[in-house]
Structure 1
C-alpha cells in the first residue's frame, strides 16, 4: 500500500486539488513542443510578448474610455428623468395649491350659506350630507346657531354629529383615520 491510502479522504482530496492547481499553473505543463517554422515571416515569441505589452496600455485606456462614455450616457438619462420628475412635482404642487384654495373658499361659502338659513331648514339639509361634513359646518357656525340647528335634528343624528365634534376637539384623538 502507498502512503495515500492511509490518509483521510478529505486530506486526499485536498492533496489532489493542490497537485492539479500546481500542474495547471506551471506554464507549458500541457503544451506540446512545436517547432516554429523557419523562415523570415515567423514572429518570434519575444515579438508577440513585446506587441502585447505595447498595446496593453492603449487597450486599457480604450476600455476606460468606453466605460466613461457609458457612464456619461447613463448620467444623462438619470438627469433627464430627474428633470421630468421635478417638472411633474411642480405641476402637482401647483394643482394642490389651487385645490386647497378652492376648498378653503368653498368651505367659507358653504358656512356662509348655512349661516343665512333658518335652523329647521339647515337641520333638514345637514341630515342628508355626510356626517363629517355636517359636523364641520356646525363647528364653523356661531354656537347659538349651531345649537338651534342641532335641536332641530333627530336625536340620533345630533348625537353622531356631537360625537364627531367632540372627538375632533380631543387632543388624544389620532389625526390618521383607523
Structure 2
C-alpha cells in the first residue's frame, strides 16, 4: 500500500458535511408537520361529526312529530272503536236471539265472543242456544279463556 499523501490524510480527518438522503429528509419533514396534520385531521373529523349530529337531531324531530301524529290517530281510533263497539252491542241487545246467532256465527269467533260477553247473561245464553254447536263451543271456550288469569294474553 502506498503512503497517503497529506491531502488524502486531511480529507479523512475532517468531517464531511452531513448530506441527508431523500428518505431522511422526508422523515424530518413528516416529523415537523405531524402535529399540524393531526390537528387538521381532528378539525375535519369534528366538522363531520357536527354535520352527522345535526342530521340525527333533524331525524329525531321528524320521528317525534310522527310519533305525536300516530298517538293522536290512535286516540281517535280508540274513541271511534269504543263508540262503534257500544253501538254494536246495543244492536245485538235488541235483536232476536236466532237472528243474532246467525250473524255471530259468520263473524270472527273473537269478535263474536267479545260481543256476547258484553250482553246480559240471559241474552247471551239465548244466542248461544241458537248457534250451531261447534261455533257456540268455540265462542264459549274463548269467553272462558278470557276470564282465566293463567291463560296467555295472546288470544291466538
TM-score (norm 2): 0.74
> Which residue does the alignment assign to 1:169?
147
Task: Judging by fraction of residues, say which structure has more helix.
Answer: 2
> Partner of 1:174: helix, strand, or coil?
coil
* CA-to-aligned-CA distance 1:42-97 (integer Å, 9 cap, x gap): xxx7xx959964x5544333222212111111111111111111122112212222
> Which residue does the alignment assign to 1:127?
105
Q: Structure 1: which 5+ residue stretches go unaligned?
A: 1-32, 37-44
> Partner of 2:136: helix, strand, or coil?
helix
* Structure with greater contact order relative to length (CA < 8 Å, sep ≥ 6): 2
Relative distance call for 1:177 and 1:115 in structure 2 (3 A) is closer
Q: Structure 2: which 5+ residue stretches go unaligned?
A: 1-16
Relative distance call for 1:104 and 1:51 in structure 2 (3 A) is closer
Relative distance call for 1:157 and 1:177 in structure 2 (3 A) is closer
> Which residue does the alignment assign to 1:113?
91
Alpha-carbon RMSD across the aligned residues, in angstroms, is 2.6
Relative distance call for 1:50 and 1:110 in structure 2 (3 A) is closer
Query: How many residues are matched?
Result: 135
